[in-house]
């Protein structure tokens, strides 16, 4: 399985949705970084289930435990291991699909790839519960980069057809966590919340878009030719459960512009090279140019719906199945810290490579 991410800042996650625990090992973290369980816990609390009426009601505390790699509050430079024990799992909620394939889930592909060996309880390794390990690792990456002036933000900018038509530069990003949908525009946030709740009552799900921003990156992060910064960010985001699209800078909207309109023209400000516009999204030639890096991540509707659907079982027989248990009507509010975490892991890795050049 591809459970290892990164080259120098290397992250390996383990665990299943209904297994005993989910955890992560970080290799390559330099010594002397201040590590606090409280800091990591705050990030995990933003991702954990049961936060509000528009998220799954699975009752997990997601209490983090650091097993190794920290002494007297600082990283030692050896592998840092962390885990969270699973508490509120109800495997019986999935007994009805033990031999059936849920539409748009990983059931069928896992069944074929792993020769019929499949943990059907909550999706096993394919469950989004695995992402708590990424958020824990991302918290460490954020802390490492904090002293370098690099910061990460993400917010919900679209739910279904409800689109926040404002640039991130027009928003107060400190308001991201001021509401349960994590949209920094109060009026649009309420519309999104009401809409998601309506979808929930219809026993259905809805997707949307999360916008991510990275501030404070120096010029020079990214490796040509195959390890371009935006390529690695794309890979990181597309590895998140339910993600179906990634764009950076002007993205797909940029195809509507002529080159004379799209080009980011350089100028010098306070002995620093800047660009008047930022259609490149802070990355040119696969390398950071010092401007804000901004991107969008598209999430599909959650595949588990509380409605009857046609499908087949392992023997090819037609069956009717319906979702049971506790599931998100919209994954976006809980995915915000995951997007931030994956961005931090990418930048942490490229930062160490950047430092190695010097």
In the chain, DSSP assigns E strands to 4-5, 10-15, 21-27, 64-68, 70-71, 74-75, 80-85, 151-159, 162-163, 208-215, 243-248, 266-269, 272-275, 283-284, 287-288, 293-299, 309-312, 318-321
Q: Supply the pLDDT for residue 246.
A: 98
| Element holding 76 (H helix, E strand) | none
For residue 357, pLDDT over 90 is answered with no
Higher per-residue confidence, 192 vs 94: 192
Structure tokens at 80: 């840092």
In 44-150, DSSP assigns E strands to 64-68, 70-71, 74-75, 80-85
Structure tokens at 218: 């120096």
Q: Supply the pLDDT for residue 94.
A: 72
pLDDT tens digits for 167-186? Answer: 999 999 999 999 999 999 99
For residue 88, pLDDT over 90 is answered with no
Q: What share of residues in the chain are helix, strand, coil (percent, to 5)?
A: 35, 25, 40
**Given 3.60.150.10, 3.20.20.60, 3.40.50.300, 3.40.1280.10, which CATH number is that of 4-357?**
3.60.150.10
Q: Supply the pLDDT for residue 118.
A: 87
Q: Supply the pLDDT for residue 325.
A: 64
DSSP lists the bridge partners of residue 8 as none
pLDDT tens digits for 117-146? Answer: 888 887 888 888 999 999 999 999 999 999
For residue 89, pLDDT over 80 is answered with no
Q: Which of 175, 182, 166, 142 is nearest to 294 (CA)?
A: 166
Q: Supply the pLDDT for residue 58.
A: 66
pLDDT band at 59 (very low <50, low <70, confident <90, very high): low
pLDDT tens digits for 337-351? Answer: 999 999 999 999 999
pTM comes to 0.95
């Amino acid at each position: 399985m591809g459970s290892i991410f990164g080259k120098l800042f290397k992250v390996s996650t383990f665990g299943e949705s209904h297994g005993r625990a989910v955890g992560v090992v970080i290799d390559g973290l330099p010594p002397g970084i201040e590590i606090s369980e409280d800091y990591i816990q705050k990030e995990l609390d933003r991702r954990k289930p049961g936060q509000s009426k528009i998220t799954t009601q699975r009752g997990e505390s997601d209490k983090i435990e650091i097993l190794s790699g920290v002494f007297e509050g600082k990283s030692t430079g050896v592998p840092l291991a962390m885990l969270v024990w699973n508490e509120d799992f109800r495997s019986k909620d999935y007994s009805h699909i033990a031999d059936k394939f849920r539409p748009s889930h990983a059931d069928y592909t896992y069944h074929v790839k792993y020769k019929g060996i499949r943990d059907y309880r909550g999706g096993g390794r394919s469950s989004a519960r695995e992402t708590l390990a990424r958020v824990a690792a991302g918290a460490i990456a954020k802390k490492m980069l904090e002293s370098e002036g690099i910061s990460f933000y993400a917010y919900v900018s679209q739910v279904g057809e409800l689109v926040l038509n404002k640039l991130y530069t027009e928003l107060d990003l400190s308001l991201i966590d001021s509401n349960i949908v994590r949209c920094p525009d109060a009026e649009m946030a309420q519309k999104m919340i009401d809409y998601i709740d309506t979808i929930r009552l219809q026993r259905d799900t809805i997707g949307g878009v999360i916008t991510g921003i990275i501030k404070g990156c120096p010029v020079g992060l990214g490796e040509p030719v195959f390890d371009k910064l935006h390529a690695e960010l794309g890979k990181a985001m597309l590895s998140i459960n339910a993600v179906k699209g990634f764009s950076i800078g002007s993205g797909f909207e940029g195809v509507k512009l002529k080159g004379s309109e799209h080009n980011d023209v350089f100028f010098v400000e306070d002995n620093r090279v800047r660009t008047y516009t930022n259609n490149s999204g802070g990355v040119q030639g696969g390398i950071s140019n010092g401007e804000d890096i901004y991107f969008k991540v598209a999430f599909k509707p959650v595949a588990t719906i509380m409605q009857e659907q046609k499908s087949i079982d392992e023997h090819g027989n037609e069956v009717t199945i319906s979702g049971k248990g506790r599931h998100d009507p919209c994954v976006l509010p809980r995915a915000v810290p995951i997007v931030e975490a994956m961005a931090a892991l990418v930048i942490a890795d490229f930062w160490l490579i950047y430092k190695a050049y010097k």
